[in-house]
């Protein structure tokens, strides 16, 4: 170290001491002043190692999970980005006639600075990234908001359209916004991924954290990543981590769909189910996308640590809904099955002991949970319930059931032991989640389950009525 380096190091150390002294003089140790909300997009819980996956590599999410509470039974209320995200941000169920101030508006009223970078409310992907636009963001939610602009499907590299046999390095003619856009993957050339939306979002989040630390006032920062939402674009090395020939894909069982009402079925993959190699490549690309997103999560969390903000910040990591990657031959989202409605949720906060919980919670519960953690009032008439008691005691239960609302008609109700779905007049499903966690046998007509079915119907009706 030369003299100038030593001087810089000394100034840096003194600044950190000064900052620590200021905040501890103002607030008791461990007081939560800030919220860092990190959202992924279309992330199925089951691919994360903290949720049992043995293939995917997510060292940063794993370490966040070790420092916080992992919710094994967290459920989304909307089955796609657009209903789920605003529902979470207002703590109001999708399709409800009620409304509420967004969490950002509410926190601003209590003197907090609120900032967003990337996708927190709905943004169509890749459209909004291609033109750097706001999508269906709610401006009033934020003191400041930032979008990124990137080439997405048009990123230089090897493009594959997995439901056709198109493989090319040509950029022109790729399907970014068309009907086959969800089957596009790109092994992008830029080695560090710095040309990709999620990398740019993390870079901006780092900048915002530095500004917030400097400002010294409480903040809510929403960091919205878009991966693993399609198109799955990430540097080639993330594909190489998961050789396609080694990918284990869900079985396609003859007759599996016979007991699922038409209204309850997911998208069939437009030819993908007949292409085994393509299905393995979807898993390869999805895992790669998750690892790339994880790396960006790590960059943001490292900065939070470096700025010594961890002791005053509650970190929430989640997504808008899960995803089908060929289970029952279904792809993507928009249906009520477990793969779609279950979401990863990790909360790491000062004063909260690390652990796991199997208590049922809903994404609408995040808003009142954040206000309680911040020791601020919660607006009246939110649909959500604070799950702070679960953070303090993982065995505590705030809900008996979790509700999800179907985009068209009806909805689903998850309890610890069963999962019930009703599509208006167009059918029902009931699964024994203890014996049949992968939902292969709809027992709605089985006499043995008649009592459970009646109870489920009653509970569902009551919950739907209170979700209006
Ligand atoms: Ca989504």
The C-alpha atoms of residue 354 and residue 95 are separated, in whole angstroms, by: 35
Residue 443 inside a domain? The answer is no
For residue 20, the model assigns a pLDDT of 41
What's the CA-to-centroid distance between 320 and ligand 1, angstroms?
Answer: 5
What's the CA-to-centroid distance between 142 and ligand 1, angstroms?
Answer: 21
Residue 117 inside a domain? The answer is yes
Residue 333 inside a domain? The answer is yes
Dihedral-angle region of residue 3 (phi above 0 means left; psi in -120 to 50 means alpha; beta otherwise): alpha
Residue 411 inside a domain? The answer is no
Residue 200 inside a domain? The answer is yes
For residue 165, the model assigns a pLDDT of 85
List, as ranges, residues with CB under 5 A of the ion ligand 1. Answer: 41-42, 81, 320
What's the CA-to-centroid distance between 118 and ligand 1, angstroms?
Answer: 13
Structural domains in the chain (count): 1
277 DSSP 8-state letter: H
What's the CA-to-centroid distance between 228 and ligand 1, angstroms?
Answer: 9
Residue 180 inside a domain? The answer is no
Residue 412 inside a domain? The answer is no
What's the CA-to-centroid distance between 325 and ligand 1, angstroms?
Answer: 14
287, 8 contact by CB (below 8 A): no
90 DSSP 8-state letter: H
Question: What is the domain-level CATH number for residue 351?
Answer: 3.40.720.10
What's the CA-to-centroid distance between 353 and ligand 1, angstroms?
Answer: 30
423, 460 contact by CB (below 8 A): no
What's the CA-to-centroid distance between 323 and ligand 1, angstroms?
Answer: 9
CA-based nearest residue to 220, from 366, 370, 60: 370
229-287 tens-digit pLDDT: 999 999 999 999 999 999 999 999 999 999 999 999 999 988 899 999 999 999 999 99
Which residues of the chain carry a pLDDT beneath 50? 1, 3, 11-25
Residue 228 inside a domain? The answer is yes
For residue 2, the model assigns a pLDDT of 52
Residue span of the structural domain in which 66 resides: 30-148+195-397
- With 0-12 CB in 10 A as exposed, 13-18 as middle and 19+ as buried, what is 365? buried
What's the CA-to-centroid distance between 313 and ligand 1, angstroms?
Answer: 26
What's the CA-to-centroid distance between 328 and ligand 1, angstroms?
Answer: 20
């Amino acid at each position: 170290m030369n003299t100038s380096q030593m001087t810089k190091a000394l100034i840096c150390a003194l600044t950190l001491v000064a900052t620590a002294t200021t905040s501890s003089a103002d607030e008791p140790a461990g007081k939560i002043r800030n919220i860092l909300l990190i959202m992924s997009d279309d992330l199925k819980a089951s691919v994360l190692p903290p949720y049992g996956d043995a293939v995917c590599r997510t060292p940063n999410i794993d370490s966040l999970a070790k420092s916080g509470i992992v919710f094994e039974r967290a459920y989304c209320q909307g089955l796609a980005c657009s209903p789920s995200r605003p529902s979470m941000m207002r703590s109001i169920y999708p399709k409800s006639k009620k409304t509420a101030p967004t969490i950002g508006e509410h926190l601003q009223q209590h003197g907090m600075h609120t900032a967003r970078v990337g996708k927190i409310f709905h943004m169509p992907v890749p459209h909004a990234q291609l033109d750097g636009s706001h999508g269906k963001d709610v401006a009033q939610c934020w003191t400041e908001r930032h979008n990124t602009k990137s080439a997405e499907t048009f990123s230089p590299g090897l493009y594959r359209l997995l439901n056709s046999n198109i493989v090319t390095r040509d950029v022109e003619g790729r399907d970014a916004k068309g009907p086959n856009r969800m089957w596009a993957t790109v092994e992008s050339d830029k080695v560090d991924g710095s040309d990709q939306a999620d990398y740019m979002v993390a870079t901006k989040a780092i900048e915002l954290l530095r500004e917030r630390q400097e400002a010294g006032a409480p903040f809510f920062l929403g960091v919205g990543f878009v991966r693993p939402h399609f198109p799955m674009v990430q540097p080639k090395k993330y594909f190489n981590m998961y050789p396609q020939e080694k990918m284990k894909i869900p079985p396609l069982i003859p007759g599996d769909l016979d007991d699922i009402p038409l209204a309850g079925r997911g998208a069939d993959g437009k030819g993908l189910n007949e292409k085994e190699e393509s299905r393995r490549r979807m898993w390869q690309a999805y895992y790669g996308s998750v690892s790339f997103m994880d790396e960006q999560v790590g960059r943001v969390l490292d900065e939070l640590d470096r700025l010594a903000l961890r002791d005053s910040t509650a970190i929430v990591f989640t997504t808008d809904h899960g995803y089908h990657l060929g289970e029952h031959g279904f792809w993507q989202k928009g249906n009520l099955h477990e793969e779609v409605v279950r979401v990863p949720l990790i909360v790491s906060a000062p004063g909260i002991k690390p652990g796991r919980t199997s208590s049922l919670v809903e994404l609408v519960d995040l808003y009142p949970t954040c206000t309680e953690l911040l020791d601020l009032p919660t607006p009246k008439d939110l649909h959500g319930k604070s799950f702070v008691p679960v953070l303090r005691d993982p065995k505590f239960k705030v809900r008996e059931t979790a509700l999800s609302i179907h985009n068209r008609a009806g909805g689903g109700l998850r309890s610890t032991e069963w999962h019930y779905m009703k599509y208006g007049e167009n059918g029902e499903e009931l699964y024994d989640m203890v014996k049949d966690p992968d939902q292969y046998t709809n027992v709605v007509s089985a006499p043995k389950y008649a009592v459970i079915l009646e109870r489920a119907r009653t509970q569902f009706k009551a919950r739907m009525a209170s979700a209006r």
